[in-house]
Structure 1
Amino acid sequence: MAPDRSLPPKLERLWGREPTPRRGPRPRLDLATITAAAIEIADEEGLAGVSMSSVASRVGVAATALYRYVGSKEDLLTSMADALAPHPPEPGDTPWRAYLALWTRAQRDIVLRHTWVLSITKFAPPLGPRRLLWLDRALTALSGTGLDDGEKVNVASTLTGYALTDAAIVHAANSGFEELEEAGIEGSVDYGEVLAEVLDPETYPALSSAVRAGAFRGGGGWTDDADFRFGLDLLLDGVEQLIARRATEGGLTEE
């Protein structure tokens, strides 16, 4: 007998699977409206501005009334993280590599437009309807590549992790390096010059050589879009090699 599994209440709400009461007044609100209001507040004031009372005020009800639609603030944050993204781009006839490059950049850019989500995003399997829609489109783009379904999921998960990590780095560079900047270290070039002064070539031979050769002279700021493209191409090159290897293995099997 299969084990009895059910979604947590917050996910039941996300999927619209909560039973609708047959009696009583018709609900004035819904989870989507409440979530949209919470996202507006977070965009304006940061995540610290999001509370059950502030969201209730935004939608014009008492704070206690929100609990009819959302179980807790934690549940609301989960809903915000899922609802934040627009619908993903459609793969259509776009080649898998070009599509996944667009798909990954789009996820990164969404986070950079709403950086507060970095505080609540968890590296866990997606369970909300919007995030699963993005996963579905990535799997669609990889159709016909010869990868099995598990490999396709792993490719999508790896690219999502890269998008989130890069967004976190860019956000930190734009807002979290005050101490370095106060010391006059205002970008990668300055950082490289400082390293050149403190690194002992005997202890750090490879890094010291790279610094003195200009490894950190690529751009004036802390981050550069070329860095994002480099990492993305590195990952997609690996996917391309995996696809080629699976094609070769398939050919050998047929023989």
Structure 2
Amino acid sequence: MDCGIITSKTVLLFLSLIFWAAGAMLAYVGAHVIQSYDTFGNFIQDKYTLVPAVIIIGISVVMFIFGLVGCCSTLRESKVGLSFFFVIIMLIFAAEVAALVFSFIYRGKVTDDLERSMTTVFSNYGGQETQADTSAVDFLQRELQCCGIHNYTSWSNTTWSIRNNNTVPHSCCKNNSAQCTGRLDQPDLLNVQGCEPKLESLLKDALGYAMLVILGFAIVKFFGMLSVCVITCRTGSRRSGYQPLYA
């Protein structure tokens, strides 16, 4: 067995073995992205931003199954099995590239989507028919320790603040301080940073993490396809009786 076959088999066996680990990791990443978006779902109108996460989870499911196929086909040097494994790797590779493209597209749209949706939700704060928006804003401000869209003064232009003597909600208070009344002239008792930049950073970090993981596994898939080609071509040459000529 020549060096090319040994190297290619090693690569494919390694690829098959990490299919399970990769599947588990991709499932975790996809779930993490969905959870991050779902937690603050009231502020995200464009649900297509979850497409990359759905693709990642779909990939992870098939990886558990096809890892065994690749391992068996490599050990047996089955041309049919390796060809099937090549198709599998190529499809997963294409899906990962698609997920990367979607991630790049939607990562750039996060800012505009948040600006539009957060303005709507914050303007509905305190309404009798918008209790869900009120709870969402309070949860967001406590969770991210922020206040207002851009900063705590963003509340000045809202209907709720005008009706409540130009104050901010108690969810803006630092550590729910009992001394905090929500007055704008007490910034030392308030979380003064805006919620939009914090939420934007959180969502972009989640997508960025997912993109790095996808890119890493896409590179492994590329070398896996090359290894399948090497083993298939060498195996076909041996079975046809071809012998290399040496000077």
Same fold judged by TM-score > 0.5?
no
Q: TM-score range by the shorter chain?
A: under 0.3
Larger radius of gyration: 2
TM-score, normalised relative to structure 2: 0.27
Q: Which fold has the larger relative contact order, with Cα–Cα distance below 8 Å and residues 6 or more apart in sequence? A: 2
